[in-house]
Amino acid sequence: MKWDVIFQPQNLALYGQGIVTTLHLLLASLAIGAVLALVFALALTSRWRVLRAVVGAYTYVVRGTPLLIQVYLIYYGLGQLEWIQARWDDIWPWTYFKEPFFCALLAFSLNTAGYTAEMLAGAIRETSAGEIEAAQAYGMGSVAILWRIVLPSAMRRTLPAYSNEVVMMLQSTSLASAVPSMLDVTSAASRVYSKFYLPFEAFLFAAGIYLVATFALVGIFRLAERHFLAYLGPQKT
């Protein structure tokens, strides 16, 4: 194996740029997806049947179709429509559809929002009746109970499942390489492979980068779980 080629300055710089793009895509999609997931979770647990049905259909489609197909539908579908291309030079928000990064970000954000919304909605439904009754006994209204009792409790209990979603999203960012002009970690490995014909070295190095990032994310979430879910563990006497 010719590992010295991988560690050449220009190739390390290529991987470095890929890491920046991957992390940017991951963090931005998680942030946008979290906001959308909160809105969708509230809709899924609302009293309006039509709203529950519409959002439920959305999450069903998102979770029932491959993320790669969703990326293709947005970049090669919406992004290539003549109606949008005729407006993407000067009319907002269509101006963003000519940016490959935006198309990938939109696909990842909508995907993680669908999964996270179902997890959060499930945690909201499983909120202990005792917590709600105690809040009512204190004279809290329904909105105060939702924002001060139900949502904080549901978010804490969703942490273990959400950590898996974040790790899966990290690994799914490799699908951004399917979008032309996107230079993520996988794209960097593909360029090194095509230039030097070193498939094992190029992709093993990329796999190592994803592995290190995964261990870092798992460690962060374990610390968060110890802090926010300590009350669920055995109590010291």
CATH of residue 60's domain is 1.10.3720.10
119 lies in some domain: yes
201 lies in some domain: yes
Residue 181 confidence (pLDDT): 81
Binning pLDDT at 50, 70 and 90, where does residue 149 land? Answer: confident
237 lies in some domain: no
Look up the pTM and report it. 0.89
Q: Which two tokens stand for residue 126?
A: 């499983």
CA–CA separation, 5 vs 8, rounded Å? 5
Q: How many domains does the chain have?
A: 1
Domain that holds residue 38: 3-232
pLDDT in tens, 133-145: 888 888 888 888 8
Residues 6+ apart with CB under 8 A from 183: 14, 17, 18, 21, 191
Does pLDDT of 97 surpass 80? no
Residue 79 confidence (pLDDT): 65
Q: Per-residue pLDDT averaged across 215-236, rounded?
A: 79
Does pLDDT of 233 surpass 60? no
227 lies in some domain: yes
Binning pLDDT at 50, 70 and 90, where does residue 90 land? Answer: confident
